[in-house]
Chains A and B, each alone.
Chain A
Amino acid sequence: MRIVVLVKAVPIVGNERLGDGFRVDRGSGLEPNGNDEYVLEAALKLTEAHGGEVTLLTMGPAAAADALRKGLAMGATRAVHVSDEALAGSCARATAEVLAAALRRLEYDLAFAGADTSDGQGGIVAAAIAARLGLPYLSYAAHIEPGADGATVRVHRLSPAGYDVLEAPMPALVMGTQVLGEPRYPSLRGIMQARGKETLTWSLADLGIDPARVGAAAATTRVLTAAPPPPRAGATIIRDAPDVAVERIVDFLAARSLV
């Protein structure tokens, strides 16, 4: 089973900041997006159980190589890094176009993507890629398994009541959640082996994409203003004994018509 895992290299949660043109600064200190690590773990488990290989695919600046290195150390077979100066500031539309073009050049049975990213929080790029490529799209996966016939994939998709069991022919694109299970830590051996693994770097020219279609100048959305939110008024603090404390909580809520 050949699985491509889409990985976004994001700033470490809590350290995000805006750079030029209100764009997220992705110049350094990047890690794999948390949700992408869950699907990578699922991909590694599937190939360990059924044979096959895992290819990481990312679009990002030079610093995204750090995130790829971690994925390789976790056990991925190889990495593909789409990197081009013209890509800086690309919007979701351009990102979907580029990743779809990269997937067209790869051979795979399954492509995996994580649910929302920690920096952009969109959660729509994977669906857009599937629509562009005409792939079956199975989202919000809590469990992924190959079908009995070897030509299909089965996914448990989280639903308000529990989950739906979905089935589709391969190749297919699966978007997964943290319910897939805790990702492994890279072992020392994995870290050593990662150094010898292959990373392909593809430019826009390699993908046959006109640079004028991507990047900040072609972005379809733009940030107009960015500012810290107004602080909440300081909290009322209650340190009374429980009975008095509860009375005061109820008064506080009643004053706001919340109880």
Chain B
Amino acid sequence: MAGIWAVAELAGGRPTRLSLELATLARQLAQASGGTATVVAVGSGAAGAAKELAALGPRVIAVEAPTEGDRPAASVVAPRLAALAGEARPDVLLVSASPDGKDVAGFLSARLDLPVLVNAAGVRWADGGPVVQMSTFGGRLGTDSAFTHGRGIVLVRPGTVTAEPALAPGAVETADPAPSAELPPVRVVERVAQAGAAASIDDARVVVAGGRGVGGPEGFRIVEELAAAFGGAVGGTRAVVDAGWLPYSQQIGQTGKIIKPALYVATGISGAIQHKVGMQTSGTIVAINRDPDAPIVEFADLVVVGDLFEIVPRLTAAVRARRG
């Protein structure tokens, strides 16, 4: 019987949105395979987060561990997870395709000798194992991949499923595994919060992004206002991050983040392939651009040809009026 594990990531003692999706995905894969679904939550506040995760159906194993102390979170999570997974030998480990998730997956793959399938945009069960769908080569190609010998780790992107509570919540248990191996010491000397850290683009339902066409940091104000009107987050292209108009954490694209909001509004973005990689799987793509021949026209759902400085403020007012 297949054991499907989802590894929950915690932020401030609560599961991230992606973790709730992974718990839902684990439940669905367990149903499809006739197996069992388990969520493992390792970190500060795990016991509290467990209830929220259990509402999605799987059994939850909560491991209280200091992920907000003087060690990087992944180095606290990975050895404990390796101890649990080394013993229980789940068939599939679903891990967030986030910085911490990738660090954890790399460690687990080496220590447990497990293969990794990355960047899953969808996971289904077929022929006794997970089949992982991913988008590659800047979206020019979609692939389905599998493990050659059954078991392995899948790094899952946001938006593969919608988090849905189950009819019956799963059981919660706690564990305190001895870390599988002491990791060489990496110490967190300081955690620096930078002023103006904006809403995260990873989890936002709506992302309004700007490119070079926005003109400068002042131009970004109207982009920010539109994002705020939607209750969404602000993103940008590499060019605007390089120019210092936005922090790197807001960069969308090949060397930035790959996101999948329900709505993506591109303002003054031509749609170069490096940017397209980061947003093309968004639910609905609206492009506001002066150039009707910009590459983004080819993969947008709605193209508004015009001056963004005239359109965006009016759109902000209209959205505000509608949302109250």
Task: Note whether A and B form a binding pair.
Answer: yes
Residues of chain A having any CB pair with chain B under 8 Å: 13-14, 16-18, 22, 34-35, 91-93, 96, 115-116, 118-132, 134-140, 142, 154, 156-169, 172, 177-179, 182, 219-229, 232-233, 235-239, 242-243, 245-247, 249-250, 252-254, 256, 258-259
A232 / chain B contacts, CB cutoff of 8 Å: 285, 299-301
Q: Report B302 CB to chain A, min CB distance, Å.
A: 5
Is A235 a contact of B303 with CB atoms below 8 Å? yes
A139 / chain B contacts, CB cutoff of 8 Å: 74, 99, 102-103
Is A177 a contact of B319 with CB atoms below 8 Å? no
Q: How does the 8 Å CB contact mask read for B81-109 relative to A, with 1 for contact and 0 for none?
A: 00000000000000000010011011101
Is B142 a contact of A226 with CB atoms below 8 Å? yes
B242 / chain A contacts, CB cutoff of 8 Å: 182
Which single member of A91, A161, A239 contacts B306 (CB below 8 Å)? A239
**A92-B109, A177-B255 as given contacts; A166 in contact with B188, CB under 8 Å:** yes
**A220-B148, A221-B145 as given contacts; A233 in contact with B292, CB under 8 Å:** no
Please tell me the number of chain B residues within 8 Å of chain A, measured between CB atoms. Answer: 88
CA distance in complex: A179, B138 (Å): 22
B255 / chain A contacts, CB cutoff of 8 Å: 34-35, 115-116, 177-178
B284 / chain A contacts, CB cutoff of 8 Å: 253, 256, 258
Which single member of B105, B185, B283, B300 contacts A169 (CB below 8 Å)? B185
Task: Check: B297 CB closer than 8 A to any chain A CB.
Answer: yes
The 8 tightest CB contacts between A and B, nearest first, are A127-B106, A220-B115, A162-B194, A131-B110, A124-B106, A128-B110, A122-B118, A136-B184
Q: Report B147 CB to chain A, min CB distance, Å.
A: 6
Is B141 a contact of A135 with CB atoms below 8 Å? no
Task: Check: B6 CB closer than 8 A to any chain A CB.
Answer: no
Is B146 a contact of A221 with CB atoms below 8 Å? yes
A134 / chain B contacts, CB cutoff of 8 Å: 184
B184 / chain A contacts, CB cutoff of 8 Å: 134-137, 168-169, 172
CB nearest neighbor in B for A155: B186
Q: Report A84 CB to chain B, min CB distance, Å.
A: 21
Is A125 a contact of B315 with CB atoms below 8 Å? no
CA distance in complex: A40, B312 (Å): 40
Which single member of B75, B135, B254, B292 contacts A229 (CB below 8 Å)? B135
Other than the given A120-B118, A135-B184, 6 more pairs (CB < 8 A) read A116-B255, A127-B106, A131-B110, A168-B185, A249-B315, A258-B206
Task: Check: B274 CB closer than 8 A to any chain A CB.
Answer: yes
A165 / chain B contacts, CB cutoff of 8 Å: 188-192
CA distance in complex: A166, B141 (Å): 38
B183 / chain A contacts, CB cutoff of 8 Å: 136-137
Residues of chain B having any CB pair with chain A under 8 Å: 11, 72, 74-75, 99, 102-103, 105-107, 109-111, 113, 115-119, 131, 135-149, 152, 155, 183-194, 197, 200, 206, 230, 238, 242, 248-249, 254-255, 262-263, 273-274, 283-287, 292, 297-307, 310-311, 314-315, 318-319, 322-323
Is B302 a contact of A160 with CB atoms below 8 Å? no
Is A252 a contact of B302 with CB atoms below 8 Å? yes
B292 / chain A contacts, CB cutoff of 8 Å: 237, 239
Which single member of A125, A222, A247 contacts B148 (CB below 8 Å)? A222
Q: Report B159 CB to chain A, min CB distance, Å.
A: 15
CB nearest neighbor in A for B98: A160
B118 / chain A contacts, CB cutoff of 8 Å: 92, 120-124
A22 / chain B contacts, CB cutoff of 8 Å: 143
Q: Report A19 CB to chain B, min CB distance, Å.
A: 13
CB nearest neighbor in B for A160: B200
Q: Report B99 CB to chain A, min CB distance, Å.
A: 5
Tell which of B106, B143, B315 has the most Cβ of chain A within 10 Å: B106
CB nearest neighbor in A for B238: A178
B189 / chain A contacts, CB cutoff of 8 Å: 154, 165-167
Is B109 a contact of A253 with CB atoms below 8 Å? no
Is A164 a contact of B188 with CB atoms below 8 Å? yes
CA distance in complex: A249, B318 (Å): 10
> Can you pick out 22 interface pairs between chain A and chain B where the beta carbons lie within 8 Å of each other?
A18-B141, A122-B155, A123-B106, A130-B106, A131-B110, A137-B186, A139-B99, A139-B103, A168-B187, A172-B184, A177-B248, A177-B255, A178-B255, A226-B144, A229-B141, A238-B303, A238-B304, A238-B305, A246-B318, A249-B315, A250-B315, A256-B284
Is B302 a contact of A236 with CB atoms below 8 Å? yes
